[in-house]
Amino acid sequence: MWPEDTPWSLKRRSGQWLLEYINDGETSVVLFGRGFLTEVAEGDPEKLGASFFETGKFPPLAAPRQEHGRNVITVDEKSCLPERPEGDALFLDRPGYFGSLRFADCFPIVLCGRNPRRWVSVGHSGFVGSGMNVASAMVSTVSGNLGPDALDGALAWVGPGICGKCYGRKADDPWTMWGMKVFPSEYVIFKEKEVHFDLSGIITRQLVESGVCESSVFEVPFCTLCRKDIFYSYRGKDEYSNFLLARLLIPGHNSRYWWENDNSDNNENANLSNSSSGV
């Protein structure tokens, strides 16, 4: 369970950065940042699976083709590898299945709850996806599958992704002008010939307006470009992506993967400020 003042955990284990949103013995959601696993896989979901899981024990894994849209996929046997349906969010309410998404400056969205049973939804929201409000599509999918009370007691996380100070677009770009129309003005900042967007603030507002309790939404305070020592960044010219893995544990089965075991002796201390002297 999380301490009340720290609703996420950042660690570095054997050279691999891990940002853990939740790991309570029932639900596990982890973002893999810089490290040997993400680089060996080269962004290929099947290579990632082969790197993460033992040979012959490859679990059902959903790894959609991400299109910067708002399609939410309900994870079942038909949506898992080798099938790769198009979508930018996943909904899981069946133990034993894994969901995965890739990020390189865009924002992870994580939703989880226990009403009327355990469930988790993860999403990929960049500039276009935020403009299309994939966050609201995720909430609608949860409510549509589990009923309007599913959000009672639910938790949500936004980030890490590129911060508003770093994310600037040319003012005369058509997509920039589109963003200025669809996003609330308080999240749009003008700087000379650029327009900057606070995507984290935008996504948080979208979640709250969709029905998630504001006090239950946590913004992870890291910029992927400012903290290139921990995360991969598209604008930082990285070739690799951060990789998110989510699952519901099977009741009565205590087996965990190495990244889910809380072995603090193997964890390296992290600088938790949103800056790095090396960037």
Residue 3: the pLDDT is: 36
Q: Is 203 exposed, middle or buried (0-12, 13-18, 19+ CB in 10 A)?
A: buried
Confidence of residue 148 (pLDDT cuts 50, 70, 90): confident
How confident is residue 255, by pLDDT bands cut at 50, 70 and 90?
A: low
Task: Indicate the SS3 state at residue 156.
Answer: strand
d(CA 224, CA 232): 6
pLDDT value at residue 276: 44
For 125, phi then psi, to 5°, come to -130, 105
* Per-residue pLDDT band at 8 (split at 50, 70, 90): confident
pLDDT at 85 over 90: yes
Mean pLDDT confidence for 124-135: 98
- How far apart, in whole angstroms, are the C-alpha atoms of residue 124 and residue 216? 19
Average pLDDT over residues 158-177: 97
| Cα 255 from chain centre | 24
Taking the domains of the chain in order of start, what are their residue ranges?
9-162+219-250
Over residues 82-95, mean pLDDT: 96
Q: Looking at per-residue confidence, does 101 or 269 come out higher?
A: 101
Cα(77)–Cα(92) distance, integer angstroms: 12
CA separation, residue 107 to residues 25, 171, 172 (Å): 25, 22, 24
Number of other residues whose CB lies within 10 A of the CB of residue 219: 18
Q: Taking a C-beta distance cutoff of 8 angstroms, is the pair 97, 119 a contact?
A: no
Q: Which of 163, 123, 139 is nearest to 273 (CA)?
A: 163
- Asked if 162 and 105 count as a contact pair (C-beta separation under 8 A), the reply is yes
Q: In what order do the strands lie in the sheet with 194-197?
A: 168-170, 194-197, 188-191
Question: 115 falls in which pLDDT band (50, 70, 90)?
Answer: very high
46: confidence class by pLDDT, cuts 50, 70, 90:
confident
Residues 205, 207, 212, 216, CA torsion sign: negative
- Helix 134-146 and helix 199-209, axial crossing angle in degrees, nearest 10: 30
**Most confident by average pLDDT, 28-32, 256-260, 261-265:** 28-32
Mean pLDDT of the chain: 88
Question: 161 with 103: CB under 8 angstroms?
Answer: yes
Residue 146 DSSP label: H
Nearest to 229 by CA among 217, 238, 221: 238
pLDDT for residue 244: 95
Residue 3 DSSP class: -
Tokens in use for 126?
A: 């960049």
CATH number for 9-162+219-250 (one of 2.60.40.10, 3.60.140.10, 3.30.930.10, 3.90.1150.10): it is: 3.60.140.10
* Rounded CA Rg of the chain: 18
Q: Using the predicted structure, report yes or no on whether residue 69 has a pLDDT greater than 90.
A: yes
Confidence of residue 153 (pLDDT cuts 50, 70, 90): very high
Report the percentage of the chain scoring pLDDT > 90.
71
Q: What is the pLDDT of residues 202-224, one digit of tens each?
A: 999 999 999 999 999 999 999 99
